[in-house]
Amino acid sequence: MDCNQVRPLLSAYVDGELDARSCLELEGHVESCNGCRGALEAIRQTKRLVSQSAPYFRSPSDLSNRIQASIAPPAQRRLPQVVKVVSMAASIVLAVGIGWILGRNSLVRTEGSTLLASHVRAMMSDHLTDVLSSDRHTVKPWFNGKIDFSPTVNDFTQAGFPLIGGRLEYLEGNRVAVLVYKRAKHVIDLYVAPLAGGLPTSNLTERGFNEVHWASGGFEYWAISDVNQQDLNQFVELVRKNSP
C-alpha cells in the first residue's frame, strides 16, 4: 500500500472494519511512513476527544415507562407498577449474565454474526486464503510470526474434507487463524483462537449457514459453512479427534 491507498482506510482501521489482510498491509505502511502514522494518531485522538468531551443528553427518567405503556396490551397496562419494575429488573439481570458469559473470550464476544460476516466476505471477495496449499506442513508454518499461537493443522482429504489453505482474520481487535476446507463445492471455515477455560459445544443456524462452536485444549473453535448440518458435525468430530 502507498499513502494514497492508506489514507482513506485509516478511519475504518481505527473502527475495526478492515479485513485482516488490509490491516496487515496498512500497519506495514504506517510503521515506515511518518505522515500516515501522524494521520492515524490524529484520528485516534479525535475519537478519544469526541468520546470524552461530546455532550451527553440523559433521557427523562419516566421515558422507559411511557414507552412500555404505549406498546403494552391493554390487560398488561393495568398491571401494578411493582410487577413492571420486577420484570424490568429480571431482564437486566439476564442481559448482564449473558453479556458476562459472552464476554469471557474474544471469539464468543463477536457472536455468530460477526464471524458469519467474515466468512461471507471472504467468499464474496474470492479471498478465501492467504496461503493456498493442501499441505499442512506449508499452512502451519505460514502463521508463524503473524499470530502469537500455533494452530493445529490437519488435512482430512481421505474423509472428504480436503484442506485448501489458511488466512488471517482481524476480529474484535485480535488476529485469528482461519483454516479453510472444502466439502464437495462447499467451503468450511474453521476459526481458531486461544481461550482460557472451556465452553460447551453450541450449534447455530443463521441465514442458511450452519455454525458449530466449541472449546478444547486451551483453544476456541468456530466451524462455519453452508454445508448441511450432518456433514458439518462430521467435520467437527474429525477436528476434535485430531486436536490437542
Residue 182, domain CATH: 3.30.200.100
Q: Domain span at residue 188?
A: 107-241
Q: What is the mean pLDDT of residues 174-191?
A: 93
Give pLDDT, residue 199. 46
Q: Indicate if 137 and 204 belong to the same structural domain.
A: yes
Q: Indicate if 209 and 187 belong to the same structural domain.
A: yes
Q: Indicate if 115 and 165 belong to the same structural domain.
A: yes
> If we measure between CA atoms, which residue out of 115, 114, 116, 141 comes closest to residue 130?
141
Give pLDDT, residue 104. 40
Report yes or no: 211 and 191 within 8 Å, Cβ to Cβ. Answer: no
Task: Let me know if residue 58 belongs to a domain.
Answer: no
Query: Which residues partner with 188 through β-bridges?
Result: 181, 225
CA–CA–CA angle 184, 193, 17 (5° rounding): 85
Q: Indicate if 77 and 165 belong to the same structural domain.
A: no
Q: Does position 140 have pLDDT exceeding 60, yes or no?
A: yes
Give pLDDT, residue 57. 58
Task: Let me know if residue 190 belongs to a domain.
Answer: yes
Q: What is the mean pLDDT of residues 39-56?
A: 72
Mean per-residue pLDDT of the chain = 78
Q: What is the mean pLDDT of residues 155-166?
A: 96
d(CA 40, CA 15): 12
Look at 115-129, 164-178, 200-214 and tell me which has the smallest mean pLDDT. 200-214
Q: Indicate if 146 and 233 belong to the same structural domain.
A: yes
% of residues, the chain, pLDDT over 70: 70
Q: Indicate if 94 and 117 belong to the same structural domain.
A: no
Give pLDDT, residue 14. 81
Q: Does position 168 have pLDDT exceeding 50, yes or no?
A: yes
d(CA 156, CA 158): 6
Q: Indicate if 192 and 95 belong to the same structural domain.
A: no
Task: Let me know if residue 148 belongs to a domain.
Answer: yes
Task: Let me know if residue 97 belongs to a domain.
Answer: yes
Task: Let me know if residue 227 belongs to a domain.
Answer: yes
Q: Does position 58 have pLDDT exceeding 80, yes or no?
A: no
Domain count, the chain: 3
Stated pTM of the model: 0.56
Q: What is the mean pLDDT of residues 160-165?
A: 96
Q: What is the mean pLDDT of residues 67-78?
A: 61
Q: Does position 243 have pLDDT exceeding 60, yes or no?
A: yes
Give pLDDT, residue 177. 94
Task: Let me know if residue 19 belongs to a domain.
Answer: yes
Q: Indicate if 23 and 144 belong to the same structural domain.
A: no
Look at 124-128, 161-165, 222-226 and tell me which has the smallest mean pLDDT. 124-128
